[in-house]
Amino acid sequence: MDFSAIRLITFDCYGTLIDWEMGIIKALRGLLPGLGDVNDEKLLEMYGEIEVAIEAGPYLPYRVVLSRAAEQIAHRLDKTITPADAQRFPDCLRQWQPFPDTVAGLQKLADRYKLGIISNVDDDLFAATHKLLQAPFEFIVTAQQVRSYKPSLNNFGEMIKRAGQAGIRADEMLHAAQSLYHDIAPANSIGLKNVWVNRRYGKQGIGATKQSAAEPMLEVHSIGELAEKMVPM
């Protein structure tokens, strides 16, 4: 891929920059004791299936999506969870950590490009994550702001509009994300340059995202690798 025309790189956050699968596993196992017979992959796939179904309905804040997902997982696994514990699940997101390569990779990319976020999250939850990422995001589009969840094109359209107001054309943008379903497929549908950050490279299963046959324009396995390609020494 030719990066010479790129001025803005937009990122999915959770799963791409933040190790959300580890965060999900730790949070659910903490809220639902006695899951020793349920392996991590089953738990992640169950979460991914339930989350997509909830987000496909009428818009709900992401806090509510997470709480309802925890309740439905408990129900499927015949476990008990109190409403208070279900509501603790969203708060766990604030502590989910960046991948080891994320911060340095973002800082390297920020030396040459403007950065943005397109995330299925609430504003206050991302505000906590933003501090952990230690990077300057000039544009931030959340699900709360547009009242829809990726793969809706509303989320991408809002980013394109805001970038355009700053003088950046859509053909000068690159979207980087881990989820083929939530990000790469809609990016392809509108001709937005994209790169698949394949965080599950070498792992079995589909993890916490819905399966998709979307073909990315480029594949890397980390933000560090992307930075090496886009900001050569």
Active centre residues (catalytic): 12
Q: What is the DSSP string of the chain?
A: ---TT--EEEE--BTTTB-HHHHHHHHHHHHS---TTS-HHHHHHHHHHHHHHHHTSS---HHHHHHHHHHHHHHHTT----HHHHHHHHHHGGGPPBPTTHHHHHHHHHTTSEEEEEESS-HHHHHHHHHHHT--EEEEEEHHHHT--TTSHHHHHHHHHHHHHTT--GGGEEEEES-IIIIIHHHHHTT-EEEEE-TTTT-SS-TTS-------S-EESSHHHHHHHHS--
| 8 A C-beta contact, residue 49 and residue 43 | no
